[in-house]
Amino acid sequence: MKGFAQLFKQLDHTTKTNAKINALVEYFSSAEDKDKVWAIALFSHRRPKRTVTTALLREWSAELGKIPLWLFEESYHIVGDLAETIALVTPKATKKSDNTLSDWIAIIMNLKDKEEAEKRATILDAWTSLDQAERFLFNKLITGGFRVGISQKSIIKALAKFSGIEDTKITHRLMGNWDPKSITFEELVLASNPTEDQSKPYPFYLAYSLDITFDQLGDPADWSAERKWDGIRGQLILRGGEYYLWSRGEELVSEKFPELAILKDKTDKDIVIDGEILPYRDGKPLNFNTLQTRIGRKNVTKKHLLDAPIVIMAYDLLEYDGEDIREKPLQERRKLLTNMVNLADSDRLLLSEEVLFDTWEELAEEREKSREFLSEGIMLKHLHSPYKSGRKKGDWWKWKIDPLTIDAVMIYAQRGHGRRANLYTDFTFAVQDGERLVPFTKAYSGLKDEEFKKITQWVKKNTRERFGPVCSVNPELVFELAFEGIAKSTRHKSGVALRFPRIKRWRKDKPKEEINTLEDLNIMLAEFG
């Protein structure tokens, strides 16, 4: 565990990507193969199945730290990370341990189905034999969420540097379903013909926001445009008569969308489609909130299938008849895709239609209509572009519409988590409705630390009441909020739910008497909801 703790410290101590890559290379050169596989797994969000509930971890750590449970919970709220809170409140180690990373993981996995007393003894023994940094990592092995600011890209770069194998090959090898318990480092990274896995997706090609001028884009005739649909980016794989669906987060989500399984009977060829997982009915997309009812659910009921029907809105074809066609120009891929979709003739697989335009001005006008289509804007793709891996500039651009905005007053404030533990950063906002204020959204990003500091000072002096970590404050500070969409909601007092609300700016110039009203929100709902 010492080596892994050392790696973690190095990654945590620097903000520079190169230093992180070097630390990883150093680790890959010295660690045991088993530990390397686990390190890759952990940094790419794979972890052993949880064998101890967090409720028990909280209880035992409060007990070991000799503090009441409520005090543990308040500390956790401030620190914002359970694994870290436990590491901080538990006392110094009283013994030593030479267990490696994979030893500890084996110990944790072994707790499955054990009696509570045995679990407790094992966990307390671990806590008393690990130093604070190791204790934190040990807890992370149980609770998950290894956020060290290390991207998948950096891990791939480091493995490429260490092994001398190309980045793209490593990227492919690390994707898909592999089990760190059984796979060896050799099989995962080094083997030139890795075990064929017919579910294996291609890396997604992601676009940057348009930040160049029309002149720089050149001739409109070289470009293809389509709507930027507001669902979840997905990759549909139909190979060997099977159906797989991957989300952009490299998560296999086939089982969450069982209605798409019929697509495997619609073609006899092996194909891979890049598209949007989109809730869709009667010839038009549904609000993103509809899709949210389907995410994070293991069991899909008939009601879900009825209320939130899903389609694949196809953007691109990456594999055709078993052949990787990503290097072919978009134009050709698109032609094959169109044929493919027409032949499949299914109401579950739709083609993302091209938006036709002759001049950039015409396209700009089309972009203005985005909300009518419940889309987020326009995607621009060069007709000759290959399908690249990862976020790349030049051939593909996303051109989003400007967000909706509203002026509102802050009524509740809460201290931030983790990164901003000592500042008030989470706010609830209200609009005016006659004499009363109606809360309608929370927002917690968009301001600079300097501004959060000022607001924190202000909150301390303007607190009316406290409800645990939340303070109600005098309704005085006015903010302009930006959001991507608005939908009807029965869960909120205001009757509306906003999509991706954030703080656009602090309107110090605006008195609270001039904020927007509930009626304004309802007008927006009628227009865009």
Partner 1 sequence: MQLIEFKEEGLYVPQADVYIDPWKPVDKAFITHGHSDHSRYGNNSYVCTHSALPVIKHRLGSHINAKGIDYGEEISVNGVKFSFHPAGHIIGSAQIRVEYKGEVWVASGDYKTTKDGVSENFESIKCNAFITESTFGLPVFKWQPQSEVMREINDWWRSNKEQGKVSVLAAYSLGKAQRIINNVDHSIGKIFTHGAVENVNEVIRKQGVHLHETTRVVQGQKQSIYNGGLVIAPPSAVDSAWSKKFKDFSSGIASGWMAVRGTRRRRSADRGFVLSDHADWDELVSAVKATGAERIYVTHGYTDTFSKYLSSIGYYSAVVNTDYTGDELSVASDVEKRIETK
Residues that bind partner 1 (CB under 8 A): 12-15, 65, 67-68, 70-72, 74-75, 78-81, 84-85, 88-89, 149, 417-422, 449, 453, 457, 466
CB of 454 to partner 1, least distance (A): 10
Which residue's CB is nearer to partner 1, number 392 or number 460? Answer: 460
Strands 463-467 and 470-473: antiparallel
CB of 101 to partner 1, least distance (A): 19
Instruction: Count CB neighbours of 129 within 10 A.
Output: 18
Which residue's CB is nearer to partner 1, number 418 or number 511? Answer: 418
Are 397 and 207 contacting, i.e. CB atoms less than 8 angstroms apart? yes
Are 312 and 278 contacting, i.e. CB atoms less than 8 angstroms apart? yes
CB of 15 to partner 1, least distance (A): 6
Which residue's CB is nearer to partner 1, number 181 or number 417? Answer: 417
Q: What is the DSSP letter of 158?
A: H
CB of 52 to partner 1, least distance (A): 21
Strands 436-443 and 424-433: antiparallel
CB of 120 to partner 1, least distance (A): 21
CB of 206 to partner 1, least distance (A): 25
Q: What is the dihedral of CA 51, 53, 57, 58, to 10 degrees?
A: 170
CB of 12 to partner 1, least distance (A): 7
d(CA 30, CA 476): 58
Which residue's CB is nearer to partner 1, number 67 or number 106? Answer: 67
- Please give the angle made by the CA atoms of 156, 158 and 160, to the nearest 5 degrees: 70
Q: What is the amino acid identity at position 1?
A: M
Which residue's CB is nearer to partner 1, number 15 or number 193? Answer: 15
Which residue's CB is nearer to partner 1, number 136 or number 397? Answer: 136
Q: What is the amino acid identity at position 155?
A: I
Which residue's CB is nearer to partner 1, number 367 or number 420? Answer: 420
CB of 420 to partner 1, least distance (A): 6
CB of 90 to partner 1, least distance (A): 10
d(CA 415, CA 418): 10
Residues in the chain: 529
Task: Give the SS3 label for residue 20.
Answer: helix
d(CA 275, CA 296): 20
Which residue's CB is nearer to partner 1, number 78 or number 525? Answer: 78
Strands 390-400 and 205-209: parallel
CB of 71 to partner 1, least distance (A): 6
Which residue's CB is nearer to partner 1, number 249 or number 468? Answer: 468
Which residue's CB is nearer to partner 1, number 71 or number 295? Answer: 71
CB of 415 to partner 1, least distance (A): 10
Are 223 and 286 contacting, i.e. CB atoms less than 8 angstroms apart? no
Which residue's CB is nearer to partner 1, number 70 or number 214? Answer: 70
What is the rounded end-to-end Cα distance, in angstroms, of the chain?
Answer: 52
Which residue's CB is nearer to partner 1, number 12 or number 520? Answer: 12
Listed in sequence order, the residues at least 6 apart from 529 whose beta carbon sits closer than 8 Å to its beta carbon are 287, 486, 487, 488, 496
- Please give the angle made by the CA atoms of 82, 71 and 468, to the nearest 5 degrees: 95
Are 401 and 230 contacting, i.e. CB atoms less than 8 angstroms apart? no
Distances (CA, A) of 361 to 26, 228, 260, 367, 373: 53, 18, 38, 10, 19
How many CA atoms lie less than 13 Å away from 388 in the CB half-sphere? 15
d(CA 141, CA 145): 9
Which residue's CB is nearer to partner 1, number 11 or number 431? Answer: 11
How many CA atoms lie less than 13 Å away from 157 in the CB half-sphere? 14
Are 244 and 252 contacting, i.e. CB atoms less than 8 angstroms apart? yes
CB of 444 to partner 1, least distance (A): 14
CB of 474 to partner 1, least distance (A): 15
